[in-house]
Amino acid sequence: MGVGKSKLDNCPLSWHKRHSEDADQDCQESVAKNSKDVCLHGFVEHSNGTEKPMGEQEGAEAKGELPEEEAEEEVFLKFVILHAEDDIDEALRVQNLLQNDFGIRPGIIFAEMPCGRLHLQNLDDAVNGSAWTILLLTENFLRDTWCNFQFYTSLMNSVNRQHKYNSVIPMRPLNSPLPRERTPLALQIINALEEESRGFSTQVERIFQESVYERQQTVWKETRNVMRARLAA
């Protein structure tokens, strides 16, 4: 997915509380329209520019090619932050912290995923289109059923895919962190990033290694090439 302007103001997720009712209805209609075309592979941001005529689009698909604008914007992300509905501001703060203070970029928060697609498609694209999945453990985390589904799905993905091993990173941020005793057992066995810890910087440097990112990026590219070859066959 290309790195660009945040989609929070343009077309936020349907569960974003600051979302107006009219925009909510538009997003739901878009989801219904596109639900038959779900294809969960990679992490691609669709351009908002002028679309090619239908004949040209079909010709490109027949050749297994992507539109030029879309191909240029394909980026394997360093991380995605999965967060509760009420923690968007905190997720943005952590995103900026990792990108600006530690140079770990590009990254994204789940609320910035494209609107108009099923949540499951966005979750698949986010987790498999990035090297690390950060679970933002706050007081709101356990209250959000969608968050519980996200973390279980992410953990299973990291177990079933060898190159994704140790790619799920629980993180307790400075603001309203989830107490350890209330953390789900499945996450207690994973060393969490503790922002208030004096060793936080060392933890970040040890986890987000460029060699790990490059290895996962290679697998991601190979997977996309296989899918394109199948489309062209």
Residue 149: is its pLDDT beyond 70? yes
For residue 8, what pLDDT is reported? 54
Average pLDDT, the chain: 76
Domain positions in the chain:
77-232
Taking the CB of residue 145, how many other CB atoms lie within 10 A of it? 8
Look up residue 177 and give its DSSP letter.
Answer: B
> Would you say 193 and 169 are in contact if contact means Cβ atoms under 8 Å apart?
yes
Residue 220: is its pLDDT beyond 90? yes
> Would you say 148 and 126 are in contact if contact means Cβ atoms under 8 Å apart?
no
Q: 91-138, pLDDT tens digit by residue? A: 999 999 999 999 999 999 999 988 877 888 899 999 999 999 999 999
For residue 151, what pLDDT is reported? 87
CA distance 76 to 153: 20
Q: Label the pairing between strands 77-82 and 107-109.
A: parallel
Q: Label the pairing between strands 193-194 and 130-136.
A: unpaired
Which superfamily is assigned to 77-232 in CATH?
A: Toll/interleukin-1 receptor homology (TIR) domain (3.40.50.10140)
Percentage of the chain beyond pLDDT 90 is 44
CA distance 116 to 184: 31
Residue 30: is its pLDDT beyond 50? no
> Would you say 101 and 72 are in contact if contact means Cβ atoms under 8 Å apart?
no
